[in-house]
Structure 1
C-alpha cells in the first residue's frame, strides 16, 4: 500500500520569521533599491562625448 499525503506541505515557519527575519528582508530590499537608484544616477551622470 502506498502512502499518500493528506494535507499541505510542511515547509517551515513562513510567517513566523520574527523581527530578525523581517530586518534581514528589509535590509536586503533596501540594498537592492539603493543599487538600482545608484545605477540610474551613474548612468545619468556620464559626460556626453560627441
Structure 2
C-alpha cells in the first residue's frame, strides 16, 4: 500500500551527523597522484639527462 500525499512526512530533521570535514578536510587523492606523476617524470628526465651527458670513452 502506497502512502497518500497527505500521509507523507513533511517535517525534516535539522542539522546533520558530525562525520568529519568532508571535502574541506585536506588535499584529495588527485593531488597525491599529480605530485607522484611529476616526481616520476622528473626522475625519468633526470636519468636521461645524466645518461646523455656522460663523456664518450674511446
CA distance in 2, matches of 1:29, 1:22: 10
> Which has the larger Rg?
2
Q: TM-score, normalised by structure 1?
A: 0.60
CA distance in 1, matches of 2:28, 2:55: 43
The yes-or-no answer on 1:48 pairing with 2:48 is: no
Q: Kindly indicate which of the two structures has a greater share of residues assigned to helix.
A: 1
Tell me the residue number matched to 2:39.
31
Gaps of 5+ in 1: 1-18
CA distance in 1, matches of 2:37, 2:57: 35
Q: TM-score, normalised by structure 2?
A: 0.52
| Runs (4+) off by over 3 Å | none
Gaps of 5+ in 2: 1-26
